[in-house]
Chain A
Amino acid sequence: MDLSIMQQAIPQFVKAFELTLWLSFVGILGALLVGVCCSLLQYFKVPFLGKVASVYVELFRNTPLLIQLFFLYYAFPVIGIKLPAQVCGIIGLAFLGGSYMAEGFTGGFNGVSQSQLDAGKAIGLNKFQLARYVVFPQGFTLSVPALAANVIFLIKETSIFSVIAIPELTNTALDLVGLYYRSNEYLFMLVLAYAIILIPLSIILTILERKVRYGSFGN
Chain B
Amino acid sequence: MPEQILKIDKLNKYYGQHQVLYDISFEIQKGEVVALLGPSGSGKSTLIRCLNGLEQFQSGFLFFGGKQITPQEKNWPQLRQKIGMVFQSYDLFPNLSVLDNILLGPLKVQKRQRAEATAEALKLLQRVGLEKYAEVYPRQLSGGQKQRVAIVRALALHPELMLFDEVTASLDPEMVRGILEIIRELSERDNMTMIIVTHEMNFAAQIADRILFLEEGRILEQTPGKEFFQHAKTQRAREFLESMTF
Instruction: Please tell me if the beta carbons of B139 and A217 are within 8 angstroms of each other in the complex.
Output: yes
Instruction: Please tell me if the beta carbons of B154 and A122 are within 8 angstroms of each other in the complex.
Output: yes
Minimum CB–CB distance for B242 against chain A, Å: 33
> Which A residues touch B85, using CB under 8 A?
122
Q: Does B59 contact A (CB under 8 A)?
A: no
> Which A residues touch B92, using CB under 8 A?
119
> Which A residues touch B49, using CB under 8 A?
118
Instruction: Please tell me if the beta carbons of B139 and A122 are within 8 angstroms of each other in the complex.
Output: no
Minimum CB–CB distance for B161 against chain A, Å: 12
Minimum CB–CB distance for A134 against chain B, Å: 6
User: In the complex, which residue of chain B has the Cβ closest to the Cβ of A218?
Assistant: B139
Given known A-B contacts A218-B139, A219-B139, A123 and B105 have beta carbons under 8 A apart: yes
> Which B residues touch A125, using CB under 8 A?
77, 104-105, 108-109
Instruction: Please tell me if the beta carbons of B105 and A124 are within 8 angstroms of each other in the complex.
Output: yes
Q: Cα distance A124–B82 when bound, in Å? A: 9
Minimum CB–CB distance for B4 against chain A, Å: 23
Q: Does B87 contact A (CB under 8 A)?
A: yes
> Which B residues touch A184, using CB under 8 A?
none
Minimum CB–CB distance for A139 against chain B, Å: 10
Q: Does B53 contact A (CB under 8 A)?
A: yes
Among candidates B52, B110, B140, residue contacting A122 with C-beta atoms closer than 8 Å: B52
Instruction: Please tell me if the beta carbons of A115 and B91 are within 8 angstroms of each other in the complex.
Output: yes
> Which A residues touch B105, using CB under 8 A?
123-125
> Which B residues touch A121, using CB under 8 A?
53-54, 76-77, 80
Instruction: Please tell me if the beta carbons of A118 and B87 are within 8 angstroms of each other in the complex.
Output: yes
Q: Cα distance A129–B109 when bound, in Å? A: 8
> Which A residues touch B94, using CB under 8 A?
138, 216-218
Instruction: Please tell me if the beta carbons of B154 and A123 are within 8 angstroms of each other in the complex.
Output: yes
Q: Cα distance A106–B235 when bound, in Å? A: 51
Q: Cα distance A120–B104 when bound, in Å? A: 9
> Which A residues touch B93, using CB under 8 A?
116, 119-120, 133-134, 138
Q: Does B113 contact A (CB under 8 A)?
A: no
**Which chain B residues (52-89) contact chain A, with CB distance < 8 Å?**
52-54, 76-78, 80-81, 84-85, 87, 89
User: In the complex, which residue of chain B has the Cβ closest to the Cβ of A113?
Assistant: B91
User: In the complex, which residue of chain B has the Cβ closest to the Cβ of A127?
Assistant: B77
User: In the complex, which residue of chain B has the Cβ closest to the Cβ of A140?
Assistant: B95
Q: Does A12 contact B (CB under 8 A)?
A: no
Show 21 residue pairs from A and B whose CB-CB distance is below 8 angstroms, ordered by the A residue: A115-B91, A116-B93, A118-B54, A119-B87, A119-B150, A120-B93, A121-B76, A121-B80, A123-B104, A123-B105, A123-B154, A124-B109, A124-B110, A125-B108, A129-B109, A134-B93, A138-B95, A216-B94, A216-B95, A218-B140, A219-B139
Given contacts A123-B153, A216-B94, 4 further A-B contacts (CB under 8 A): A123-B80, A123-B154, A134-B93, A217-B95
